[in-house]
């Protein structure tokens, strides 16, 4: 099989009409990879402040998320409970063991940790959001078990306005800013744009295929 590796590489080079790249070229390409450049970035997400928030809410609602603004993290438990009540959903929530979520004063209906198979509601803290598309960005890790984004029927994401970004480029830039044990990339980066859906049966759009049927976003903004 290592024979195949060499065979494939040498076939590629033969097709390109050359041998392995020379050192100077390799250095140039490596340098470019170390300093990634933004490419074409649409104007839409390149906004700040209230306009950015407005756009995020508009785009998130357009892909079937619901969005409610709360003034602070302390309001999250109440807002989550209200949402579940208003929609006749079960009151018990599985919450991600995030340090910003742990001590908010939850009721007894709440437990922390990974999603079990039959947790009807999951709640996590989004690492970022993108106004460009109404997308949530979540990183895997102890504070954000990836399964919690997918297994429960209802998914509630807490997003602080300070973590709301305009474009995907800003997300990668922010991610590169972390340096954890040698790499900034966690095992899983999820961009979530709405509830799970499929149009596989007769092109009829349906929500909640494998992932959550409902995505509710609690947007925390003191300048509400």
Partner 1 sequence: MHPTCNRFETNVAEALVDEQLQKALARTAVGLPSARERALTKMPEFEALRDDAVELKKHVLEHLDFYLERFEQKVIEQGGKVHWCATHAEAREVILKICQDADAKTVTKGKSMIGEEIAINDYLETHGIEPVETDLGEYIIQIRKEPPSHIVGPAIHLNKEQVAESFRKTHTDLPPDRPLDDPADMLKEARTLLREQFLKADVGITGANFLVAETGSTAIVTNEGNGDLTQILPRVHIAISSIEKVVPTLEDANTILRVLARSITGQELSVYTTFSTGPKREEDPDGPDEFHVVLLDAGRSELLGNEFKDMLRCIRCGACLCYCPVYTAIGGHAYGWVYSGPMGAVLTPAILGQETARHLPNASTFCGRCEDVCPVRIPIPKMLRHWREREVEQGRASAISRIAIESWAFFAKHPALYHPIANLKYWALGLIGRKKGRFSTAPGTHGWTKHRDLPAPQGKTFQQLWSEKGGRR
Q: Which is nearer to partner 1, 78 or 174 (CB)?
A: 174
| Residue 11 touches partner 1, criterion: CB under 8 A | yes
Answer yes or no: are the C-beta atoms of 105 and 94 closer than 8 Å. Answer: no
Q: Which residue has the tokens 């009807």?
A: 120
Regarding 56 and contact with partner 1 (CB under 8 A), the answer is: no
Count of CB atoms within 10 A of residue 86's CB? Answer: 9
Q: Is 113 in the site for partner 1 (CB under 8 A)?
A: yes
Residue 105: CB minimum distance to partner 1, A: 24
- Residues 197 and 121: their CA atoms lie apart, in Å, by 18
Question: If you write DSSP's letter for every residue of 156-186 in order, what string do you get?
Answer: EEEEEGGGEESSHHHHHHHHHT--BTTBS--
Letters for 192-221 (x = contact with partner 1 by CB under 8 A, - = none) are xxxxxxxxxxxxx-x-xxxxx---------
Q: Is 59 in the site for partner 1 (CB under 8 A)?
A: yes
Which residues in 70-99 contact partner 1 (CB under 8 A)?
A: none
Identify the burial level of 120 via C-beta atoms within 10 angstroms of its C-beta, where 0-12 means exposed, 13-18 middle and 19 or more buried.
Answer: middle
Out of 50, 71, 74, 185, name the contact with partner 1 by CB under 8 A.
185
Figure out which of the listed residues 8, 50, 71, 74 binds partner 1, where binding follows CB under 8 A: 8
Does 181 contact partner 1 by CB under 8 A?
yes
Helix (H) or strand (E) holding 29: helix 23-34
Binding residues for partner 1 restricted to 124-163, rule: CB under 8 A: 132-135, 140-142, 145-147, 149-151
Q: Is position 49 an interface residue for partner 1 (rule: CB under 8 A)?
A: no
């Amino acid at each position: 099989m290592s024979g195949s590796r060499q065979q494939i590489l040498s076939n590629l080079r033969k097709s390109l009409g050359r041998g392995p790249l020379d050192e100077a070229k390799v250095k140039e390409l490596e340098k470019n990879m170390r300093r990634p450049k933004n490419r074409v970035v649409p104007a839409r997400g390149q906004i700040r402040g209230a306009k950015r928030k407005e756009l995020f809410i508009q785009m998130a609602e357009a892909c079937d998320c619901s969005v409610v603004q709360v003034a602070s993290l302390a309001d999250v438990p109440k807002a989550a409970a209200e949402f579940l009540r208003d929609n006749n959903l079960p009151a018990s929530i599985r919450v991600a063991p995030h340090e910003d979520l742990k001590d908010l004063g939850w009721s007894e209906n709440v437990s922390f940790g990974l999603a079990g198979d039959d947790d009807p509601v999951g709640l996590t803290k989004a690492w970022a959001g993108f106004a460009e598309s109404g997308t949530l960005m979540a990183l895997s890790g102890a504070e954000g078990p990836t399964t919690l984004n997918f297994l429960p029927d209802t998914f509630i994401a807490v997003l602080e306005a300070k973590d709301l970004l305009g474009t995907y480029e800003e997300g990668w830039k922010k991610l590169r800013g972390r340096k954890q044990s040698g790499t900034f990339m966690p095992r899983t980066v999820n961009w979530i744009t709405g509830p799970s859906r499929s149009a596989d049966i007769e092109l009829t759009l349906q929500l909640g295929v494998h992932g959550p049927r409902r995505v509710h976003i609690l947007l925390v903004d003191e300048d509400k």
